[in-house]
Amino acid sequence: MAVSKTDDRDIQRAVAVGERNRSTMELIHNWCAHASVKKMGGVGLIEAQTGLPIGHHAMVCDHAAAGGMATWDLADAALDFHDRNCVDCKLRAPVRLPNLTTLLRERELGHAEEQRRRTALEEQRARALDERQAARHELRAKVDVASTTVIDQLEDLDRDRTDECRNQLVETARLAPEIFSPDIIEHFFSLLEAGETWFSGTGLEILLHLKADPVRLTRCALVALTNFTAAEIASKIVQTYITHVETSLISGALRSLVLLADPPRLHFTDTSRLTLSAPLLALYRSYPAEVRAAIQTHLDERQFFLVRTAANAIVVIGEDDPNIAVPFSRSLIAKLARAELLIDFDQEGRRNDEQELFRNLQDALELALKAAPQATDTLVANFMQMASAETQARLLEAYNDLFRGASRDEEIVETGAHAVALSRLITTVTSTNDYDVLRAVLDILRNGPPTGLEGLVRRELTRFLGAAPPVST
């Protein structure tokens, strides 16, 4: 079977770790004649083929009192072992350079750089706080005594950033909206427009309650969505003031809106996902051309998470517009068929990223097959002619859910898409002997006969029999 891009990326990552571990082993052996490395666990296929130390390893020494730990990256285990056992050791027998001092120096330089970064960030935050306090001092001179309560509460929120401070300020807006003078409202807008993320959710909620300038507020909400801050209240504002949306900001806000409508699945948990698709659907109903353009922009990108945004947007909007996927058919098929050339996956990303994206693209392509079966299938067929076996199997999986109901007992209502899909499966099995492709077809049909499509199967029975391999006697 062909090696997928995911497998190839994992192999490269494992080899890189093995090469680092081999270098670390040399540093350990040079550090002390008593030190050695112990392999923990079995030997994997990549390790056996390359001879590199891949997997969990530990630094050990007969004189160690505190022991250590085994890690995938041996450098982590070596530094931990050094700190536990080597700092005050009187029995160390140095061998040569380079040794663990190389790792220790790198760690010290990293800590120093991190400390410099933290110090600079703290100084920047302190200066920004001083500037905000100066602005609030000027604001106090412009408002009456009652309105200074709002400034005091804003001061508390700026310093403590707690839910209690936030709720107190929001509650004041609900109970005493009259003390929020125009100058205070202007100050709130200035904080939002300056990108003060600590204030985003609070400010948007208060200004929505106060019915502040809807054009300006909607723009702040779209910018917040673009910056992935206060997504729920920002999306509510966009939905409330949908006629005031600045269309040039739609593309930037799309990913946050899609994440609300189709949040990431939580692996290894039964926790249900809370979805909020209404804002995205409202935006599409009011600005269909602009949303489609934003989807195409994301679909044309190389980063896998942007392509995923486009595919998921199509699926969510498909609830309202069953034809939404048709204009994107060629792009969806191209991304599936030429993923290795058209999509960049993070080298350190999760192994599931690739398969999850393919599933998203297949779901979107399935909508296109349902809306325009013949035209979409013709595009698929054109791409399959030049595709590898792995890619053909990937494309065929888009036909999968056409043969499945919501449950095993649910009857499927036959449409033209089913006939086209079945024809594609029959054509495929009669034109290939590749295991991956045949397995993909088998996976589509292996859960038993699709209830409701019996008539279609009977009509295609002759083709089924023609596709069957001859039986040797």
Residue 110, in any domain of the structure: no
Same domain? For 337 and 416 the reply is no
What was the pLDDT predicted at 271?
52
Residue 156, in any domain of the structure: no
The number of folded domains in the chain is 3
What was the pLDDT predicted at 471?
47
What was the pLDDT predicted at 1?
43
Same domain? For 342 and 298 the reply is yes
Same domain? For 356 and 284 the reply is yes
Same domain? For 250 and 362 the reply is yes
Q: Which domain holds residue 461?
A: 390-473
What was the pLDDT predicted at 407?
52
Residue 181, in any domain of the structure: no
What was the pLDDT predicted at 464?
59
Q: Which of 48, 68, 99 is the last residue of a domain?
A: 99
Residue 449, in any domain of the structure: yes
Same domain? For 339 and 260 the reply is yes
Q: Which of 48, 81, 99 is the last residue of a domain?
A: 99
Same domain? For 403 and 347 the reply is no
Same domain? For 361 and 418 the reply is no
Same domain? For 341 and 448 the reply is no
- 459: nearest Cα among 400, 419, 413: 419
Same domain? For 286 and 408 the reply is no
Residue 132, in any domain of the structure: no
Same domain? For 344 and 426 the reply is no
Q: Which of 309, 344, 371 is the last residue of a domain?
A: 371
Residue 395, in any domain of the structure: yes
Residue 113, in any domain of the structure: no
Mean pLDDT per 10-residue segment, the chain (473 residues)? 58 91 97 96 90 95 92 96 94 95 96 97 95 96 94 95 96 96 97 96 98 98 97 97 98 97 69 81 97 98 94 96 97 93 73 84 96 95 88 89 68 83 84 81 70 74 58 48
- 418: nearest Cα among 447, 377, 384, 363: 377
Same domain? For 362 and 411 the reply is no
User: What does the angle CA 247 – CA 252 – CA 125 come to, to the nearest 5 degrees?
Assistant: 120
What was the pLDDT predicted at 409?
62
CATH of the domain at 250: 1.25.40
Q: Spell 428-438 as b/e; 16+ CB within 10 A means b.
A: bbeebebebbe
Same domain? For 351 and 450 the reply is no
Residue 129, in any domain of the structure: no
